[in-house]
A and B are shown apart, each in its own frame.
Chain A
Amino acid sequence: MALEAHGIVTGYGEVNILHGVSVTVHEGEMVAVIGPNGAGKSTLLRAVFGLLPARAGSVRLHAQDVTNRRPDQLVLRGLSYVPQVDNVFPSLTILENLEMGAFVRQNGLHERAEQVFELFPDLAGRRGELAGRLSGGQRQMLALARALMLDPSVLLLDEPSASLSPKMVGMIFERILEINRGGTAILLVEQNAREALSVCHRAYVLAMGENRLEGEAQALLGSEEVGKLYLGA
């Protein structure tokens, strides 16, 4: 089991957003979390990544308990996270952004950067440019690239397709699939349920901070309830 979150309870202030959510991601698997706005999808990723303290429940990474660990400890164990917005350092260059992604790495930085650039050739030619100058799609690419710098075994992605043009959405998902084919397990939160279900192996449906449905992506895509609620069919 690459990642196993069990019974996560968390929230802001005195209000709980998640009331015991569980998801698991197997090695090399790509799993989607879908659900309506306010279901707690992004909150789940933040709790898994230790940004929001889990008030109950546990997170296990490769069978080791990592509940409420600090992000710098998590990235060393192979977990990386790409937030939905503000996911690059705008006044740093592209190369510096990648360096920050590999901050805990002691050496081999440039070799790894070249490997990552191979995956994102658009960025390679502009490595000295400021990230703030990039277009929305390129930023998303850079955000992915940054998270790959430590060669993570599990990647958490928060709505990578949000506010991108349909063409860019296609390109981003292509890259995500490629990353997954390279052996990285991915936990993907998506608003765009149809797109997410068509690329992932399995999916969870959250609603009001609780697990609603789970299953094979194809099966959910065909499910009447999911179709009615989230696919606008």
Chain B
Amino acid sequence: MMAAVTSARSSLSDRIRERRRMAAAWLSGPGLWVIIALFMTWAVLQERDAFTVGIVSGSIFALGALGLTLIYGVLKFGHFAHGDTMMFSAYIAFFLLGGFIVGERPGDELQVLPVTVNDLPGAGDAIWKFSFGYGLWVAMAAAAVLTAGIMVGLDRLVYRRLRDRKSGIVIFSIAALGVAIATRALMFIFYGPSPRLYYPGIRERLDLPFDVSLLADQLFIFATAVVVTALIYLLLFYTKLGKAMRAMADNADLARISGINTDRIILQTWIVAGGLIAVAGVLLALQVQLDPELGFVLLLPLFASAILGGLGNPQGALVGGLIVGITQEVAVTLDLPLIGEVSAGYKFSIAFIILVLMLLVRPRGLFGARV
């Protein structure tokens, strides 16, 4: 009889364990998607304004995370300077537009460039309902080229030497952190702590169908992010370089064995990432005011987006960025049971909470990590 009781009990506990295992499997698989879909639907219906802003900041995160994830895939390390280089490129564009750095006293401007982008004929005339003219595009393109050059230079100066020495990935991350600190300090030295705008003046608001309202500039941000993401998608899936980058993310040793010149792919990855960093940085500076602290603040949302989507996975970066952006904006409008109203100060901690939940439930990310 004792034996019967024991076996009944063990089968019961087996059954509970089995249930729990199945629940966990559901939660880390289809359930996760169901939860995300429900949350997004709710947000669209109930918090449309926050949702819209979330898509805009989410598309900036997506571009940042895309660059981060490419670097992760090909070079296998967490680029902790990503946010700060975005901030830096945004300042490059700012410099090209106005041509000055801050002078002796706060507020003083020291003209450095004899000819600036804004001096081009009609460069500052607002296009459509945007706050900017074609000059911003010129500055953005130039910033992309310069940033790509700087990233290549940094690779030659710092990261390649660490590679040659076969340093662990953590060493690369610490080096990137050093670069981030130095970059931030440089921008403080050149521009000081006061926030900057590319173009002062009024921003026009658009009223779109379905009760959606957003700034014209925000529409531009979203549209640019979509176009750039599409370009990166084409690059990754339809060009030899892109396929080699994916191959390196998959299996860097085999890429080398196949005869792929991995050093060259790494350089080209930095160039692509530099371009992405510059575009994301300039868009960011359109969305919020530019200041040197911006880079560090971005770090958590960018990593959360990339990890949420699956490190090294470009589709994942896009979806991850949007989810993090939307959740951040929507969450601070919430009035939760037990916790109460979520203070706006927690905005960037939301990214962290998403990150930890994801690491607990599904560390490989929504689309599977490639590294």
Show the binding face of A for B, using Cβ within 8 Å.
49, 51, 70-72, 74-76, 81, 83, 86-92, 96, 99-101, 103-104, 146, 150
The 6 closest A-B pairs by CB, nearest first: A75-B259, A89-B250, A72-B259, A104-B259, A103-B260, A72-B261
Query: In the complex, A101 Cα to B260 Cα: how many Å?
Result: 8
Q: Interface residues of B, CB < 8 Å — how many?
A: 19
Provided the pairs A86-B254, A89-B251, A89-B254 are in contact, do residues A72 and B260 lie with their beta carbons within 8 angstroms? yes
Residues of B close to A89: CB separation below 8 A: 246-247, 250-251, 254-255
CB closest chain-B residue, reference A149: B258
- Contact: A75 with B258, CB < 8 Å? yes
A130 to chain B, nearest CB (A): 10
- Contact: A100 with B243, CB < 8 Å? yes
- Contact: B243 with A83, CB < 8 Å? no
A125 to chain B, nearest CB (A): 21
- Contact: B253 with A92, CB < 8 Å? no
Query: In the complex, A100 Cα to B260 Cα: how many Å?
Result: 7
- Contact: B257 with A150, CB < 8 Å? no
Query: In the complex, A75 Cα to B260 Cα: how many Å?
Result: 9
- Contact: B256 with A100, CB < 8 Å? no
B151 interface residue, CB < 8 Å from A? no
Query: In the complex, A90 Cα to B313 Cα: how many Å?
Result: 13
Query: In the complex, A104 Cα to B261 Cα: how many Å?
Result: 8
Q: Determine chain A's interface SS by DSSP, over half rule.
A: loop
Show the binding face of B for A, using Cβ within 8 Å.
240, 243-244, 246-247, 249-251, 253-261, 368, 370
Residues of A close to B253: CB separation below 8 A: 51, 83, 86
Residues of B close to A81: CB separation below 8 A: 257
Residues of A close to B244: CB separation below 8 A: 100, 103
Residues of B close to A90: CB separation below 8 A: 250-251
- Contact: B370 with A91, CB < 8 Å? yes
A85 to chain B, nearest CB (A): 10
- Contact: A100 with B258, CB < 8 Å? yes
A9 to chain B, nearest CB (A): 20
CB closest chain-B residue, reference A103: B260
Query: In the complex, A83 Cα to B253 Cα: how many Å?
Result: 10
Query: In the complex, A146 Cα to B259 Cα: how many Å?
Result: 11
CB closest chain-A residue, reference B250: A89
Interchain residue pairs with CB less than 8 A apart (25): A70-B261, A71-B258, A71-B259, A72-B261, A74-B259, A75-B258, A75-B259, A76-B259, A88-B251, A89-B247, A89-B251, A90-B251, A91-B249, A92-B243, A92-B246, A96-B246, A100-B243, A100-B247, A100-B260, A103-B244, A103-B258, A103-B260, A104-B259, A146-B258, A150-B259
